[in-house]
Amino acid sequence: MREVNLAALDLNLLPALEALLRRRNVTHAAAEVGLSQPAMSRALARLRDVFDDPLLVRAGGGLAPTPAALALAPKVAAALEGLRGLFRVPVVDPARLERTIRLAAADAQTILIVPRVASRLEREAPGVDLVVSTIGRDIMARMEQGEVDLCFATAATPLPPGAASETLADDRLALVMRRGHPGADRDWALADYARYRHATVSFFGDGVSEIDARLGAAGVERRVALTTPHFMATVAAVAGSDLVTTISAAFARRFASPLGLVLKPPPFDDALVLTVVSTRAGAADPALRWFRTLLREEAAVAYRAPQSRSIVSSRR
């Protein structure tokens, strides 16, 4: 049998070869692998050429394998199983999983989602440790270096090459101010954003804001009097001053009552989609795929909106 050029070998011939050697009948082998009888006959002709051997010969009322075919049969079966294993997605058993997962998050997610995730891990994956770190300018470098596995973001976050994003939950933006604020008793127009001082959340400290881009397109400029990397600090400052902020409605709802906050719909598209970002390698990691499913399940509960889709202000 001559040396076979693997680069020129059609791997689609392997299932046909395995079926032919096992069934020893062209018609039955063809039906098993989903080929027509003429197509299987052509495959057999190509296989005979590849192996430089008849493989199956007429004997009695059917076909009999040649000595070379008999030697090939177990090797072909093993090769096919190996190939199937190569493309088979590993099944993760959370109860037996032992590893550390590193997640970058804002305090909004550490408050709304992480406690729920920690509870699930305790029950379902006690061998998994979760390390949560902050989001910063170097987040993608940390992910590429393996220091962070996953990072929370929004669908509006620009992604660099090599990053993959997956939707976790639908949220909305809320215009938030203290109860009794001068602007709390009416609906806002875009121009109102220029009338009051604002507090914002920024992880990168670059002054870039999608909200400011929207306002700028309408010829409106707001004054940002406070910038912090923390949602909790932002709503606390808003609760004790005449500052206003535009942030996640799910997070603002959590503290509306205890902090005496009023939530209003902003005067522009308020859609906000929470996502989780990974590297391409991380996206293919079976354990991280399982963990992203867990995140999605818990985020769906944590970010579940009230029965009415409109943002309801707290009682003034």
Q: What is the pLDDT at residue 159?
A: 81
Q: Which residue has the higher pLDDT, 158 or 116?
A: 116
Which residues make beta-bridge pairs with 199? 226
Digit-coded pLDDT (tens) for 1-60: 556 555 557 778 888 888 888 888 899 989 988 999 999 999 999 989 888 889 989 887
pLDDT (mean) for 291-307? 91
Distance CA 277, CA 164 (A): 6
* pLDDT of 312 above 60: no
Name the pLDDT band for 238 (thresholds 50, 70, 90).
very high
Digit-coded pLDDT (tens) for 192-213: 999 999 999 998 776 668 888 8
pLDDT (mean) for 224-238? 96
Q: Which residue has the higher pLDDT, 293 or 314?
A: 293
Say what percent of the chain tops pLDDT 70: 92
pLDDT (mean) for 271-288? 91
pLDDT (mean) for 148-164? 88
Distance CA 156, CA 179 (A): 30
Q: Which residue has the higher pLDDT, 260 or 56?
A: 260
pLDDT (mean) for 109-134? 97
Q: What is the pLDDT at residue 197?
A: 97
pTM higher than 0.75: no
Q: What is the pLDDT at residue 89?
A: 67
pLDDT (mean) for 269-294? 92
Distance CA 165, CA 151 (A): 9
pLDDT (mean) for 137-153? 92
Q: What is the pLDDT at residue 6?
A: 56
Angle at 132 between CA 130 and CA 138, to 5 degrees: 130
- Residue 231: Cβ within 10 Å count: 23
Enumerate domains of the chain plus CATH numbers.
6-87 (1.10.10.10), 99-302 (3.40.190.290)
Digit-coded pLDDT (tens) for 61-120: 788 889 888 888 888 888 888 877 776 667 889 999 999 999 999 999 999 999 999 999
